[in-house]
Amino acid sequence: MPLRFEQPIVDKIEQSRAHIGITDAEIVQMLAAYRLFGFWRIDIETGHFFASEDVHAIFDLPYSNGPVNLAELMSRIHEEDRSLIAETFEQASLHRVGFHFVYRVDNRLGGCKLVRSVGRFRDDESGGGIVGVTYEFVEKLRIVGLEDNTPLR
């Protein structure tokens, strides 16, 4: 199956939010509030993959702030999806583009869950590589959830 890359994000008009008064930190906090929503980076030179706690949880891996064991992470991805993921990262690096894909991950209950990763090539003062987010899809049900502000004990 050939890969198809979509228009780069630079073609999207940046949303105005100064008049709303919402911070980057609040946006990230709300995006991650009710589902696993993790951040990651691949260092192209070393091949190391670094990920936040939620990425480790999505793949049911023990957390560490060092490089992730890519062999173990890839073993959690459905066999039919592994080669497409590898090719996506290769093409993103080669063509310096962004991407997104949905794939299956072992849910550790005898089945799979759907996961989406969105990434983009980065080559700036912070270093070359690919940065992105990964999150789980959740059921499409109407749900209302209120935040519990009870302090943790």
The whole-model pTM stands at: 0.77
Nearest-angstrom CA–CA distance, 20 and 33: 20
In the CATH hierarchy, which fold is given to the domain comprising 21-136? Beta-Lactamase (3.30.450)
The rounded distance, in Å, linking the Cα atoms of 133 and 105 is: 15
Phi-psi region of 12 (alpha: psi -120 to 50; beta: other; left: phi over 0): beta
Map out the domains of the chain as residue ranges: 21-136
Contact 137, 115 (CB under 8 A): yes
74 burial (CB, 10 Å; 0-12 / 13-18 / 19+) is middle
Q: What is the pLDDT along the chain (153 residues), one digit of tens a residue?
A: 455 555 455 566 777 888 888 988 888 888 777 789 999 999 988 889 999 999 999 999 999 999 999 999 999 999 999 988 888 888 888 888 888 888 999 998 999 999 999 998 887 776 678 999 999 987 665 555 555 666 766
Q: What is residue 1's predicted lDDT score, i.e. its pLDDT?
A: 45
